[in-house]
Amino acid sequence: MAELSSAEINDLPDSDFAFIEAGGSKDSEGKPTPRSLRHFPIHDAAHVRNALARAPQSPFGSKAMPAIRAAAKKFGVEVAEEQQQSSELGTEGLIGLRDLCVRASMPGPQVERRGEGAMPILHGYLTRFDEWAPVESRIEGKFFERSKRGAFAKTIRDNRAQMRVLFHHGQQPTVGVLPLGPITELEERADGVYYESALFPTKYVEELLPALEAGEFGSSYTFRPIKDDWDYRPQRSTLNPEGLPEVTLLEVRMKEFGPCMFPVYAGATAAVRSTTDEMMLERIASDPLRLAQLLATIAPQTALSAERAEPANAHSTRKEPPHTDQIRSVPSGLRPMDDEEWLTWLSRNKSLTL
């Protein structure tokens, strides 16, 4: 790797660094001062390899790794599996688990009757283009997201025949994975992705109709990002005052969509929310076999040996974790994993839940 002088490093643009600390000030070129706030130059393959080696030892490593990985991909630098795993936790959440994302929006679909005796048509928009929405998820991370026109074109063309219109992603017990009706229209329009479905004349659809016609449900869809563009250091704005990462979806693969029971916390005026966490939990809780697999896998990892176990006593300086009533119900040979341990485990065993 060619060594750079301090002057040469100072001349590099901000975009050539994987992480920039907050604070300092901006000079006439818009660069931060002092320059020591900039970490991990990634302007060529050699420096990317150097950044990959140094990041695990740095306090900024987890925050820098998404940009380092992107640079590695750009320059064709191989990233070892352990480096991928060590950087999965951070602002961007569990990158490996973005293989399945769920978005829900309000207002939801509308129902229209287009002829006497005909079953109603369910129609609405799944997403609007170029509208930023906050994503706050323990699985995906915390960032802002928008979809560009064209992001759904390929999946609509290639995968429409495999898509289904489901109620609440097929997770609602009384309806399950039964489709609500065939997809009669699915297209990208100037402002978003529009769909129509001719509802089936079945009992389970009839039972949903009153709530659908009253607008009680949101719209939701599951997808996998294929191509996206991340800005890890956007300018702070009224919309994004914290300067959280911003991602633009350029291509996605959609699996299913339809009306959903919108999370209570989001409120009736909410636009778009990530409901990936809720769907994951519902899948785990509703499938006894998968739940048993989870527990069987967790137990060996959480068991404490007799030598490591810490007896509880009045003189202990160990901080008591929250929800102690739940923790005390765990068998004495086990300890519950904390959030970081749980997310790390889940990222490495995602085949059990996806």
Please indicate, yes or no, whether residues 70 and 117 belong to a single structural domain of this protein. no
Please indicate, yes or no, whether residues 30 and 156 belong to a single structural domain of this protein. no
Please indicate, yes or no, whether residues 183 and 139 belong to a single structural domain of this protein. yes
Q: Which long-range contacts (CB under 8 A, 24 or more apart) does 185-188 make?
A: 185/123, 186/156, 186/160, 187/156, 188/149, 188/150, 188/152, 188/153, 188/156
> Has residue 317 been placed in a domain?
no
CA 195/CA 221 separation, integer angstroms: 12
Provide the pLDDT for residue 325: 37
Provide the pLDDT for residue 104: 87
Please indicate, yes or no, whether residues 128 and 197 belong to a single structural domain of this protein. yes
CA 207/CA 27 separation, integer angstroms: 64
- Specify burial of residue 270 (Cβ count, 10 A radius: 0-12, 13-18, 19+): middle
Domain end (from 254, 276, 298):
276
> Has residue 316 been placed in a domain?
no
> Has residue 115 been placed in a domain?
yes
CA 136/CA 270 separation, integer angstroms: 14
Provide the pLDDT for residue 349: 52
- Specify burial of residue 349 (Cβ count, 10 A radius: 0-12, 13-18, 19+): middle
Please indicate, yes or no, whether residues 62 and 111 belong to a single structural domain of this protein. no
Report how many domains make up the chain.
3
Residues 6+ apart with CB under 8 A from 147: 127, 128, 129, 130, 193, 248, 249, 252
> Has residue 311 been placed in a domain?
no
Please indicate, yes or no, whether residues 103 and 74 belong to a single structural domain of this protein. no
Provide the pLDDT for residue 237: 92
Among the listed residues 94, 107, 340, the one whose alpha carbon sits nearest the alpha carbon of residue 216: 107
> Has residue 248 been placed in a domain?
yes
What is the pTM for the complete model shown?
Answer: 0.56
Among the listed residues 321, 308, 202, 219, the one whose alpha carbon sits nearest the alpha carbon of residue 262: 219
Provide the pLDDT for residue 108: 86
**In 3-state terms, the chain is what percent helix, strand and coil (to 5)?**
35, 25, 40
> Has residue 93 been placed in a domain?
no
Please indicate, yes or no, whether residues 33 and 78 belong to a single structural domain of this protein. yes
> Has residue 315 been placed in a domain?
no
Residues 6+ apart with CB under 8 A from 171: 279, 282, 283, 286
Q: Which domain holds residue 337?
A: 287-306+324-352
Token pair, residue 213, equals 């016609």
CA 303/CA 319 separation, integer angstroms: 20
Provide the pLDDT for residue 326: 35
> Has residue 209 been placed in a domain?
yes
CA 276/CA 140 separation, integer angstroms: 8
Please indicate, yes or no, whether residues 63 and 104 belong to a single structural domain of this protein. no
Nearest 10 degrees: CA dihedral of 111, 116, 118, 123? -20
Among the listed residues 79, 46, 40, the one whose alpha carbon sits nearest the alpha carbon of residue 60: 40
Please indicate, yes or no, whether residues 269 and 218 belong to a single structural domain of this protein. yes
Domain end (from 25, 52, 87):
87
Domain end (from 87, 112, 132):
87
Q: What is the pLDDT of residues 52-69, one digit of tens each?
A: 888 877 777 777 888 898
Provide the pLDDT for residue 175: 84
Q: Which one-letter amino acid corresponds to residue 228?
A: D
Please indicate, yes or no, whether residues 32 and 118 belong to a single structural domain of this protein. no
- For the chain, list residues with pLDDT below 50: 82, 85-97, 263-270, 298, 300-340, 342, 350-354
Strands 164-165 and 246-260, sheet pairing:
parallel
Question: Would you tell me how many other CB atoms lie within 10 Å of the CB of residue 97?
Answer: 22
Please indicate, yes or no, whether residues 115 and 146 belong to a single structural domain of this protein. yes
Please indicate, yes or no, whether residues 151 and 64 belong to a single structural domain of this protein. no
The DSSP output letter for 287 is -
